[in-house]
Amino acid sequence: MSEPSLLAALPARRRSLLLRVHFWAALIASPFILVATLTGLVYIFTPQVEARLYAHLDRVTPAGAMLPLDRSVAAARMAAPGNLELRSVAPAFGPGDAVRVSFEPARAHAAGAHHHAAPAPQGATPLTVFVNPYDARVLGAQAPGERFSEWARTLHSRLLQGEGWRWMIELAASWLFVMLLTGLVLWWPGRGQPILPRRGKKGRAAWRQWHAFGGVALGILSLVMVATGITWSRYAGEQVRALRDAAGQASPQAPRHLHSAPPAGAAGAVLLGWQQAWMRARELAPPIAMQLTPPQGAHGVWRATGIDRTRPTLRFDLMLDAYTGQTLYRSGWEQQTAFGKATALGIPFHRGEFGIWNQVVLFLFGAGVLFSLASGWVMFFKRRGSSRAGRAPLLPPLLPGAWRAASPLALAGTAALCLLMPLLALSGGVLLAVEWVASMDTRRSAA
């Protein structure tokens, strides 16, 4: 066949190649996406589940004026084991909220600026003590890992296993991205594909048009979910963070040298109490639930941070002098980078933390993903039963003019994705080796 004839056959062969890649992407990603979707549907209803399970810990009945925060902290300290040290306190934001006092295993801090804390004692685990702010009565204690939200998050991200299992979600997200892009190109109306499903279609053709329409309709939301999920992954997440830092888009960080200085000539200067630090932080911070971290040592600082992810534009980071309450550092939405703002909005959306509308959107999205997976597999098995097709889309043979006619943008995009997603590059290399071996066997058989 002459080179002009080969080049004329490229569009059909490219479509065949896209179908093959789309098939492999679905084959690799489908099991993981199924698990991620089902566990994600469990996770998005965390607020309702925890409201029923932990009302006796999280909620209180208002009764007059709240006691000073120091009283609640002291009560929690008395209830916590002695081998735990106080890490932070989340004061009651609303009249029906309990005070949350968090403890962690005590560590032995070596002297000197360049020494690290010694390991925590074996058997000690973090603990949160819940206190009624109106009478300083301890409501109960709970390890953070015992919360339903933590269980659901771990189930969704690594199937209740260790950190080493996070690669599964990253692999799925990588190939899901490929599946979305190849599906979009295959659907593109310019290739003769109708924008909306047509009536009268039956069998595999009907499944194909609804599969394509559903996938494209969910496309933007799918990209948002993949992009926000990738930021939590291990290898691709490291690449994203490296690009973020190189572009100067890292979130603002408090300087490490900040410290408190006891007032000059004031022997035995007294640190601000919990109530004093809280009142000072409330003067400077937006109206949002916060967490207070106490000073570490005589030169430590009070730190207050926003902890309500449902209101990202009000989140803040504040550092105060431990003796005077003077502001040493402050940052908020205005100081946040574009990347930081995007993640501050995208991650809570991914988790369904913006309220019932967010949960409904994610539920419908999850249902759509399940339909897309099911319809894809229905098409596959119907193809197997067809007399005109094999088990999978055929891989077209390599053509002499293929690389010369290939789109530079497509090649550059593929290279960029592989650099950004190392697991995609690794698994893609394995897939290419499998295809190469299969093609060699086919050529031998034909010979």
The mean pLDDT value of the chain amounts to 82
Categorize the per-residue pLDDT at 407 as very low, low, confident or very high, splitting at 50, 70 and 90: low
Please tell me the pTM assigned to this model. 0.79
Categorize the per-residue pLDDT at 446 as very low, low, confident or very high, splitting at 50, 70 and 90: low
pLDDT at res. 110: 42
User: Is 111's pLDDT higher than 50?
Assistant: no
pLDDT at res. 338: 92
Rounded-to-integer distance, Cα 74 and Cα 295, Å: 16
Question: What is the percentage of the chain residues whose pLDDT exceeds 70?
Answer: 80
Structure tokens at 57: 């810990």
Q: How many CB atoms lie within 10 A of CB 42?
A: 14
Task: Mean pLDDT check: name the lowest of 104-108, 291-295, 329-333, 359-363.
Answer: 104-108
Does CATH number 3.30.1540 belong to domain 55-105+124-146? no
CA distances in angstroms from 431 to 156, 331, 425, listed in the order given: 27, 47, 10
Sheet of strand 127-131: strand arrangement = 138-142, 127-131, 99-105, 84-90, 290-293, 301-306, 317-321, 327-331
Rounded-to-integer distance, Cα 125 and Cα 83, Å: 10
- Residue 97 per-residue DSSP state: B
Categorize the per-residue pLDDT at 253 as very low, low, confident or very high, splitting at 50, 70 and 90: confident
- Encoded amino acid at 417, one letter: L
CATH of domain 252-259+270-336: 3.10.450
CATH 3.10.450: which residues of the chain?
Answer: 55-105+124-146, 252-259+270-336
Per-residue pLDDT of 430-439, as tens digits, reads 887 877 777 6
User: Is 115's pLDDT higher than 50?
Assistant: no
User: Hey, which residues does 293 pair with through a beta bridge?
Assistant: 303
pLDDT at res. 281: 96
User: Is 285's pLDDT higher than 70?
Assistant: yes
Distance of CA 181 to the CA centre of its chain: 21
User: Is 156's pLDDT higher than 80?
Assistant: yes
State mean pLDDT over 372-399: 64
pLDDT at res. 390: 46
Q: Are 44 and 359 in contact (CB under 8 A)?
A: yes
Q: How many CB atoms lie within 10 A of CB 55?
A: 11
pLDDT at res. 394: 52
- Encoded amino acid at 351, one letter: R
User: Hey, which residues does 127 pair with through a beta bridge?
Assistant: 103
Strand, coil or helix: 320: strand
